[in-house]
Structure 1
């Protein structure tokens, strides 16, 4: 505001101040024969600057300065732990005490199970000794509307518990999609101070069974066949491998490492489940189809399609054979297209189908037909044609299929009758009256062509 009327400004939005405290939270608590630590977080609901660092204290004494807000500490040392932000060491969180000999280790933090199967979730735990008057109660809880709900209430009669001195197991049968959830281990006793809820849940995902064999390749050599599931499988799971439908009894691992015969097919499954993967196998001998069917005529559009039964799907390539050599790559697709095929396109074409499991190829001959070209005429003997001598006219035309020939003599605007239906016309003793124009015609079902030749007979 100023002394001048209407000269004022209000900043919008304002500055929102949130006053909060620090708290040490136990993020992961693990106790077992192999692990004995807790991961702590110096937690605040404020968004602190990224460059802030933290100071950790045990029994009031500084033990560590961390850029990270997380601090891992041995369970046996995790007593009276507090934290503060660097520069404000006098403002500390309340002390947290992590009880010795009390905690839980989850068998696995993420579990995937196949719909309809039975799943067992196990927890190893230790608990400080309690008196005989303190009754221990064990259960697993799921999260529903951010509240812990007893698993037995949600899964009804499909659950069973089995607990001993150090392991508690929950068995869920006939899994359904709604069973997907996060489960936490919980035990309590008559003593209100004796109890524990695990700080790390087990996330369960229920899915359809989907098993497949993947091919892993290193360079030109096949490295492994790998049995892959859309569900994560524990390390102790056994696998079943099949070769041409028969079980390979000695193979139990996820990876199949052996020489792969292109003639064989392979499948796998997870032991205990009936579903198998689709078979994988190298490309079989390719077949080639030609479209349109029938004779291949010059100038038309022709499509060659190569197909091979293969899994995984094959990659294709086309080349043309030129004697002992092959031309460059014509196509890397299953098909080879000629928009206007030529007679020079006739020849052998090789289609190759290839995958990581093997290679196979087939040779196809393409025969391009065409109408007769312009005929040429040769005269024998060469030189001057003299009356009374023997003369042979030969007509030839490049054609496929071979042409039929005919000879006539032109008489002005008219033509004489057919003189010959052969490629040649013979005069055993030619006369002067035989002089004139002779037309040779080459004809096939694909077309017709002709040429005119003048014969000049000289008198003796």
Structure 2
């Protein structure tokens, strides 16, 4: 993959992860680890540096700051003084921030760029040795980067990348992954014992020989794998009401991309072979378990979703009214039964018989009053013993036997005389 299509005057760094090298309290932080730039473009390489503000009762002062790619006689060569970079290099410093700008990039500008600062403290000089690798995309490339096996790469298999060079004697090799953080290997080969899907990406290697750096082109590694456990969801996610429209969605990470099939449990025929399954005018009989199968030529995986449909609002209202009516009927029936039971119980209690009920007749019948009168047995009075009534003797005897009689009194009648 070529990166010659860099847009604009400045090139964008491949990685924006800080890399820190430190020694005691001194340190240099590079904002990127490596940069690809096109021939003729301009690139900014940035860093920050730190140092102790005071040491041995003496304030620390930075006396020199520079960028370099090589050493001569154990002294780093300042790019500002290097004739090769004359009029193409500028430094920008603001506080503890440092920036190197290179304009009109050339093929031979491929190199590792490092920052160094020196202070007034004894031993107070520091270099960020890891630096930033700059590769010019139009520069001559290494012979090739090969991959074994050359056929399709499947997750879990072993893979070897080999960097070829015509350097003689052999050069020093370093492997990088695009947007990676740090070097992957400093061998001519890069080996994966069990490659994973996360290892997919672009790889390249560099060689350094006699301070000359060469970069390989990119080699894309495409790792194939079966679908992962699908993620299933329902929209809308709120309560599903009868008559509404519902969409079931299934998604899974896979390479090659997964195909999807929706099923309802206990049914053999698929509902759809699309990623989304929409049910319009949903009804209670649509309730149940649905599962999505994600599949490609590397394998399958499925997930289940439970769908519950509630009755429409009008049905819920009708059901509520019906329930209230039934509840009222039951309450009324219970009340009537209790009333009848209490009435029958009072009827058969002692003192509540018919003769007593007669005594409880309404007293608005003011014209009649009844009383039970007991007369003593008639005794013969000597004074009237010779007097006989008009009734027969037999009838008298019958009167003597009767002890009770009913006497009728008129209201407001006078006293017996």
Tell me, yes or no, whether TM beats 0.5: no
Structure with the greater relative contact order (CA < 8 A, sep ≥ 6): 1 or 2? 2
Of the two, which has the highest radius of gyration? 2
Q: TM-score, normalised by structure 2?
A: 0.41
Looking at secondary structure, tell me which structure has more helix per residue.
2
Looking at secondary structure, tell me which structure has more strand per residue.
1
